A = this chain, B = another copy of it.
Amino acid sequence: MSGLELRALATSGGQLRLSLETVTLDKPGPEELVVRVEATPINPSDLGLLLGPAEVSTVRAEGTPERPVLVAEIPQQRLAAIRARLDRSLPVGNEGAGTVVKAGRDVQHFLGKKVGMLGGGMYTQLRKLRAQDCILLPDDVDVAEGASMFVNPLTALGFTETMKAEGHKAIVHTAAASNLGQMLNRICLADGIGLVNIVRSSAQAAILRGIGARHIVDSTSPGFQAELTEAIAETGATIGFDAIGGGKLAGQILQAMETAASRSGATYSPYGSDVPKQVYIYGALDTGPTMINRTFGFAWNVGGWLLSPFLQNAGREVVGRMRQRVVNELRTTFASHYTKTISLADALQPDILAAYERKSTGEKYLIDPSL
């Protein structure tokens, strides 16, 4: 069997080349499946591999309409950081859903069924993978609904699990009106967890009000720092998850946590309060430097948070419980909304790429490789 697959190639000459290649699949092993991919989202977490450090303004089309190629320049000084991927053609796409068209000896019961998949290389027409990396979709769920059942749902649940494991009781979240942010609101409302939503516009605030969010703070408000401090004091949030990364926001969150903590009558120490304050950066909507103005003592921490190592460390039982909840609540808590469905060839059109690369809140692209 063979099909088309989207490939990303960064050359040591400083060029990014996205293309569609024909790939031929061996027959599946005893515990493997071959899935016809019918829905795979473009998540912000896919863009690193897809576009890497290329200069998006230099994107241009090559190739033919059936076999488009998209080319962009990678500035020389950015090549060192991606040395390990240079001159290797890499498949892209973290998650997807589709129909099982071949099944190995021990997993025959999957044949003909719809599954959600995690494991990379999903921007392809046919994907061979282990059955254990698939989840059977309930009958009333279609592939578009099942395509985003891993990255955002498990990340949102991973935030509340991390909060509990590290002894915090409420959460601050940035870029909070995103698909992920909306899921997190529904989880926190259902589970009685305090959540402070930081957004960057009144339109985003309206989205969150519409789904019942309780604490919404707009970082473009002139009273942002005071409003954030109030919301943090009301919820008792001492852990934050930040999708933005660059700029002063992580430090502002820590400062608000410290001000709230020192209000609650602690004795003065020149080294700050002893309340542990944590901000995890899990995205890079702003790739600029994180600027931390350390005016909040020494009981603080800023670090990276990533789904895969979290799942590896969380243990089988926790991950099993998380996956089951996603399946149970796929059409409610974990519903995703797509603004456009495109083909693999469309994904290589410069104007379409420019649109999904913007990562605008409320805009989300779904690729259907079978189109």
Q: Are B299 and A294 neighbours in the complex by a CB distance under 8 Å?
A: no
Q: Are B52 and A295 neighbours in the complex by a CB distance under 8 Å?
A: no
For residue A267, which residue of chain B has the nearest CB?
B84
A318 at the interface (CB under 8 A from B): no
Q: Are B294 and A281 neighbours in the complex by a CB distance under 8 Å?
A: yes
Chain B residues with Cβ below 8 Å from A282 are 298
Q: Are A284 and B290 neighbours in the complex by a CB distance under 8 Å?
A: no
Number of interface residues of A (CB under 8 A): 48
> How far is A298 from B48 in the complex, measured between Cα atoms in Å?
12
Which residues of A are interface residues toward B (Cβ below 8 A)? Answer: 45, 48-49, 52, 80-85, 88, 90, 245-246, 248, 251, 259, 262, 266-268, 270-272, 274, 281-282, 284, 287, 289-295, 297-306, 308-309
CB distance from A177 to the nearest CB of B (A): 23
Copies of this protein, total: 2
Max chain B Cβ within 10 angstroms of own Cβ: one of A49, A88, A262, A289: A289
Q: Are A289 and B251 neighbours in the complex by a CB distance under 8 Å?
A: yes
Besides A281-B294, A301-B303, A303-B303, 14 new A-B residue pairs in contact (Cβ under 8 A), listed by A number = A48-B271, A80-B259, A84-B262, A84-B267, A85-B270, A88-B268, A246-B294, A248-B289, A251-B289, A271-B308, A281-B298, A290-B291, A290-B292, A300-B304
